[in-house]
A and B are shown apart, each in its own frame.
Chain A
Amino acid sequence: MIFPADDIGGEEPKPTALFAATASAASANSWTSVNGWSVPRVYSSVAEEYDAARTRAVAADFGALVRYTVRGEEAAAFLARVTTAPVANLEPGESARGLMLDASGAVADIIEAARLTNELYLLTCSRRHARRMQLAGRGIEAAVEDITGRVAALAIIGPEAREVAAAAGVDPTSETLAIQTRVRGVEASARPIHHGALPGVEIIYPYDEALTLWERLRRASAPKPVGLDALEILRIEGGTPRPGADFAPAEEARGEKNRRRPSELGLPHLAPVGRAWFNGRRALRDGLADQRWLAVIAIDADACAPGAAVFSGKNSVGRITTCAFSPRLKRVVAFADVAAGTSRKGLEVALFGEGGQRAAAEPLETPEGRLAAAFRATEGAATESGAPAV
């Protein structure tokens, strides 16, 4: 799951359910606000957390993400309408990623839908969509509830995630993880997730039991807590764009030019036009060519800032939207919003303002990009824009 862009504005953020637990571990005291909730950016050090995530397992407080439960006979129809996720094929315990599109095909959010029981679904979004849920429910027998403030969400990410989760009571050998069970005496639901290239498990349990589970986990296997900055590096290396930072979500985009379609974000595989119907599918079938390309690049530099100009030869073709220094690649990895059709070779990024020093950059292969390429190959859809398959 993807965190949205940090909040702008001076409202004091609220503490999540796990705040008490994570605050004590956050020695670096670097916090930010996401969706009105406090989220730590760094616990101890970005490099340590990143390393731990890639080699062992880390625990993250995912309470800032927005969660809806959808119940009812037509819950699947509701979700099938609102999201592009293949909800109809989900068995209890499975989850699927998807997008939320508006009627013109522009991306509003990146979401995950999980089926907990036969008639209960959990929808995780990066931002609130109260109005969309209200409108979508008209004429459909489904009850939607926003449970964000009522649950604690803990994500364990890393190659050893399953083992660590087992320590918390979640069965590591089951194909589809336990759905709604009592985990060591605490009502919980668990589902498999991915963050970037890393697998993981997300456990959701009631607000009041927040500390119980955390303590159990800490005593059993003590995964390192991971903050937003380290997750950012993993995200960029994974290739998933961040709503609000890498692109403007549909409702907030001012003007046609700022809206993005799934293929412009490198996510055509999450909005398969050839399968079940979803909101906005008709607009996508008009076959308009991509105008922009959200590329993931690796820059030969030690530091970079969002907003830096990207050049192809002499021309400025776009800007960096998010970036982070990757300890593994020893370079800065970044998302760049450039014009569609930009050549993959010869990219350069300005480091200190226009006319300043430039650093070479090249596109980076990411798991998301591989999925997109595979999808394009199977669907046979050749986009006319020339946006290259990563």
Chain B
Amino acid sequence: MTKRRQFDLIVIGAEPAGFAAAGCAAREGARTALIRTGDKSLREASMPGVPDFVWRKLNLQDMGLDAKPVGARVSLFEGGRSFKTYQSERKTHDALEAAGITDHHLWADFSGQLVRLREEGETLTQRASAPAGRNSAPALLGALAKEDGASAAERMTSTSAALLEDYFVNGDLKTHLASAALGPFGLGGDEAGSALALASLTAPAAWRMRASAKGPSLERVLEEAASAAGVEIIDARIRGLDADDKGVSLSLHDGEGLRARRLMAASTDAAARAGLEVSAAFSPLTRRDGAVANVRLRFSKAPDAPGGDKDAIFYLADNFASFAEARDAALEGRIPEKAPISFEFHKDEIIVHAPYCPAYLMSDGEVREWSEQDRQALGQQIVARLAPHLNGAARSIKRVDVRVVPAAAHQADRAGLTAPAPSHDPIGAAAKLALDLIRGE
């Protein structure tokens, strides 16, 4: 006899975004549960930033979280060139000026425009990702009907490529911004609405953070905060889900059943890992295809970071066109040759993030899954690309671990499961979605 427990909100995904979302919902008074499906999430060196409202809601200052922002974003180019931007706009401006890049004059205006674009985009995607059947007027049609509807529509459909081309001349700057903005989503830069990827870089919590070696990890702190808020954390694998008008029923592998008014995943990745279908949340940044590769390079001796900045995020991308090239290759089932990648240093490891990987490989017209050989080949390719920048440290690589996970969750019309739109601020997005679901009855 299966006992069904009833909740207001169930969150799937034991990752920082999931804990934050569940914790915020619980603080609002909802009976919340979080399901830990046991799939290992990708190993990361840096953690997503935590927005202010989550901080306040969960009282994170009392939890001993010791984290500081990532030092800088560094793009490495051939010939030893590097390009850095910082969290402080002024510092970035000065660095650009020092490098003799005339585009620095436009940096302030560019950021201002991106901020306005982000605020507009947030209202649109937020409304749309909430479940259907709400009374609020549709966001897009409402925006179009206003007097400046044409300008709003233009901004909504603008592409990253057009925006960057219009402002800047310097190729390195454009490539660097694209690495930071488009890379995490696997976009090519020429999709309609991809300017939102650039815009969401300006969110305060978009700058990632690094936990100190001694303190607890963000995930642990958020888990504690969620428990303290009253979230029930359930370890179980999900067998199936059933959605109807009143809510969602989850059946777990151990035979237990759960029932919730609302169900959400911490991110599309979490849904993909749990193998569940997700209701299409509108966002120009949503990815329908492809996989992300996470490569861990373990060294016998801790490698030096180029430029000495050990807690920066590094990007490798040849030029702006390589993003579209890599995206197309991934869609066609090929492993792109010079796909944009990002990497970070973590103790004696380098963790590489390669978002432009195909979900399935096509060879000679045959579709096949990733094999161990393919993963090893990818690992070697990445090592070869990193080697010139590591100053000989590549020789002391002990192990190369490659994991390829699907980036996109199955989309279905009425799946009963929603996930927040992809964003540079995943914790904020998940928490906002949770609060929306709780309040929106």
Contacts and interface: CB of A to CB of B under 8 A. Distances in A.
A362 interface: no
A131 B113 contact: yes
Residue among B88, B90, B110, B167 with the highest chain A CB neighbour number at 10 A? B90
A37 to B, nearest CB: 12
11 contacts: A36-B90, A128-B105, A128-B108, A129-B109, A130-B105, A130-B109, A131-B110, A132-B109, A134-B106, A134-B167, A252-B112
A365 interface: no
Contacts of B167: 131, 134
Interface in B95-137: 105-106, 108-110, 112-113
B106 A131 contact: yes
Contacts of B112: 251-252
Interface in A252-283: 252
Interface string A1-39: 000000000011000000000000000000000001000
A173 to B, nearest CB: 39
Residue among B89, B109, B112 with the highest chain A CB neighbour number at 10 A? B109
A11 B89 CA distance: 9
A292 to B, nearest CB: 19
Interface in B394-419: none
A146 interface: yes
B114 to A, nearest CB: 12
Given A131-B113, A131-B167, A251-B112, A11 B88 contact: yes
Residue among A12, A128, A129, A131 with the highest chain B CB neighbour number at 10 A? A131
Contacts of B89: 11
B353 to A, nearest CB: 31
Contacts of B110: 131
Contacts, number: 25
Given A131-B110, A131-B113, A146 B105 contact: yes
B259 to A, nearest CB: 43
Interface in A115-159: 128-132, 134, 146
Nearest to B146: A256
Which secondary structure dominates chain B's binding surface?
helix
B150 to A, nearest CB: 12
Contacts of A252: 112
Interface residues of A, number: 12
A82 to B, nearest CB: 14
Contacts of B108: 128, 130
A146 B93 CA distance: 14
A128 B109 CA distance: 9
Nearest to A133: B105
A130 B90 contact: no
Contacts of B90: 11-12, 36
Given A251-B112, A252-B112, A130 B106 contact: yes
Interface string B257-288: 00000000000000000000000000000000
Contacts of B106: 130-131, 134
Nearest to A146: B105
Interface in B166-180: 167
Nearest to A10: B88
Nearest to A252: B112
A285 B106 CA distance: 31
Given A12-B90, A128-B109, A130-B105, 6 more contacts: A11-B88, A11-B89, A36-B90, A130-B106, A131-B113, A146-B105
Interface string A48-84: 0000000000000000000000000000000000000
A304 to B, nearest CB: 31
Contacts of A128: 105, 108-109
A134 B106 CA distance: 9
A131 B167 CA distance: 8
A143 to B, nearest CB: 12
A251 B167 CA distance: 16
A11 B108 CA distance: 14
A146 B105 CA distance: 8
Contacts of B109: 128-132, 251
Contacts of A12: 90
A131 B110 CA distance: 8
A272 to B, nearest CB: 27
Nearest to B91: A11
A384 to B, nearest CB: 21
Contacts of A132: 109
A146 B113 CA distance: 20
Nearest to B107: A130
Contacts of A36: 90
A16 B90 CA distance: 16
A36 B88 CA distance: 13
Contacts of A251: 109, 112
Contacts of B105: 128, 130, 146
A130 B110 CA distance: 9
Contacts of A131: 106, 109-110, 113, 167
Nearest to B106: A130
A11 B94 CA distance: 12
A53 to B, nearest CB: 32
A11 B109 CA distance: 17
A129 B90 CA distance: 16
Nearest to B119: A254
Interface in B122-167: 167
A36 B93 CA distance: 12
